[in-house]
Amino acid sequence: MSEHDLAPVIVLAPIGRDAAASVELLEHSGIAAEACSDLAALVEALTRGAAAAFIAEEALFRSDTGSLFTWVERQAAWSDLPFIVLTSRQDQPGIIGWRQRLMSGLRNVSFLERPVRTITLVSTVQATLRARRRQLELRTLLAEREHAAQELETQVANRTQELKAANAALRDQMANKALVEEKLRQAQKIEAIGQLTGGVAHDFNNLLMVISGGLEMLDRQTDPARKKRLMDGMRQAAARGSGLTRQLLAFSRRQELEPQTVDLERQIGGMRELLDRSLRGDVEVAFDFAAGLWPVEVDASELELVVLNLAVNARDAMPNGGTIRISASNTLGRGSDAAGDVIRLSISDNGTGMTREVQSRVFEPFFTTKDIGKGSGLGLAQVHGFVKQSGGTIEIDSAIGRGTTITMLLPRSTKAPAPDRHHLVDLHVERRRPSNAGSVLLVEDDEEVAALVGEMLDELGYQVIRAASAAAALGALANGRAIDVVFSDIMMPGGMNGVELAQEIHKRRGDLPILLTSGYSEAAKQAADAQGIKILRKPYELSELSEALSAVLETNKPHQKQ
């Protein structure tokens, strides 16, 4: 089903030629559109049939929208018609309150603030049409299922005297019903796979950047200490890649555990350096292990991955810093022997917390609340699978604003712990030397990628100032530091991506050159290209980085938004 097969987009924009211009623009993009004169005409057009509604805010302000809201409420169960409302920059309390009521009344609504670029308007309408198309496909599937159920009832009623024939018809109908339900499940799987591939593609692009860039840098280094630092970075990237593969295997149930008797205090306590390097400087890790802690029988490497995974999630839940507390204590079982005894291993944070809805889905494969490309959605599913395979259970306690505690209840082992312990990574990071070819503000949230790119910039003769987010980068600029060029990743956490950071820098320091890099998200790349901001695609080589930086420094002119 294409846009031409859908009902038209209804346009309500009563001022000037807004309606006619909008219809012309949409039809030029291959989207059927129809203008209406007022609110009553809009409701009438929606009743006849529409794929979406594009409404200028002034058409509804101070109008009686009761008939429109009533129409929205009376939609069929499968239908949730999308509305696009064109708003102004006015933010008086009365207007904000009215918009909130409008959002509640229209339900499925997107707001676009003037002025709107043509590409933004068209892409938003196309996205709403894709959503509407999925609703129509769902209606068809539901109708097929209902039709199958009705046929089943008819067959059973008509053939009660012919039991053998009735049973055969029943099996046929059940097969048809299962086929329809399988189609619905496949639609859900496709969406889940989309989330998975986005996160995995981003993670592996970063790992490839560290490894390919590090290999190139090794040939250029004579300093043994710097060679070791590059090798350590590549080993850690390989370890991350192995961990991601292990998560995928755990989800597919093809990963076999190698249990051994482990002293939790010694094993997890030895992760101090790894945890400190994996977390931000504003995140503190505290250990609290009870005296006489019992051993457990688990896969030691998988246990460390689980603890590291939960610690990183806790870090992401504390954007302003905080404390992660890792504690363990003994809990006696009800029986007379040790079979019911467990060790409570908890990882707690004092971060943002989770809603009840998120808690109910947090262990589902592919479910993630992180930004696009920042997580595969397999981390907590792997934690859940590890605990279950180890014969334990897992609990979660969280509340908005109070933080989160995830507790693993692992069975007590009566065996003596193994004398040695294995740790995932053992790196020593040294400070890079300053250089005199210029100052680069490097904005990159991935620690391994940032370390490698810092080495590459250092090799090219640049002095590097690191920021892990757009907000931190703006803070560095506000401190009056001497910056010659900004080099930023496009996909970043914190609500502002690299393109938006570039726009803000242009407002504050229009003469500051900016170079962006990305291995993911064509949408963000297109937005950067539209504003004339240079893009360096990941993974890149040292010569490509040098050429790209030289190009933006030579122009030394701001790329103003057209």
Q: What is the DSSP string of 179-197?
A: HHHHHHHHHHHHHHHHHHH
Encoding tokens for residue 43?
Answer: 């409701």
CATH code reported for the domain at 439-555: 3.40.50.2300
At what angle are helices 66-73 and 39-48 packed, to 10 degrees? 20
For the chain, which residues make up each domain, given as ranges?
3-134, 206-251, 260-411, 439-555
For residues 177 and 144, what is the distance between their CA atoms, to the nearest angstrom? 8
Confidence (pLDDT) at 104: 92
Asked whether 474 and 504 are in contact (CB, 8 A), the reply is yes
Please tell me the pTM assigned to this model: 0.38
Q: Which helix (H) or strand (E) holds 411?
A: strand 403-411
Question: CA quadruple 312, 468, 273, 223: dihedral positive or negative?
Answer: positive
The reported pLDDT for the residue numbered 254 is: 46
Q: What count of other Cβ atoms lies within 10 Å of the Cβ of residue 76?
A: 9
Q: What is the pLDDT of residue 467?
A: 87
Indicate the CATH number for domain 260-411.
Answer: 3.30.565.10
Q: Give dist(CA 410, CA 387) in Å, integer.
A: 7
Q: Which long-range contacts (CB under 8 A, 24 or more apart) does 534-538 make?
A: 535/490, 538/205, 538/206, 538/208, 538/209
Q: Which residue has the tokens 């169960």?
A: 77
pLDDT of the residue at 521: 52
CA distance 141 to 551: 54
pLDDT per residue as tens, the chain (562 positions)? 544 468 899 999 988 888 899 999 999 999 999 999 999 999 999 999 999 999 998 889 888 999 999 999 999 989 999 999 999 888 788 888 988 999 999 999 999 988 889 899 999 999 999 999 998 999 889 889 988 888 888 887 777 778 888 888 888 888 888 877 777 666 655 555 555 555 566 667 676 777 777 777 777 777 777 777 778 777 777 776 766 665 565 555 445 567 888 898 888 888 887 777 667 667 888 999 999 999 998 888 788 888 888 888 888 888 888 889 999 999 987 544 556 889 999 999 998 888 888 877 777 765 565 554 444 455 677 788 788 888 899 999 988 988 999 999 999 988 888 665 555 544 333 334 444 668 999 998 888 788 888 888 988 889 888 888 888 888 888 877 788 999 998 887 777 888 889 989 888 888 889 999 886 655 566 777 777 888 888 778 888 898 889 888 887 654 443 3
Is there a shared CATH topology between the 3-134 domain and the 439-555 domain?
yes
- Cα(185)–Cα(187) distance, rounded to whole angstroms? 5
**Side-chain half-sphere CA neighbours of 151 within 13 A:** 15
User: Where does residue 37 rank: exposed (0-12), middle (13-18), buried (19+ CB within 10 A)?
Assistant: exposed
Cis amide leading into 224 (omega within 30): no
What pLDDT is recorded for position 202?
62
**Residue 70: per-residue pLDDT:** 94
CATH assignment of 3-134? Answer: 3.40.50.2300
Q: Residue 116 and residue 57: Cα distance in Å, rounded?
A: 14
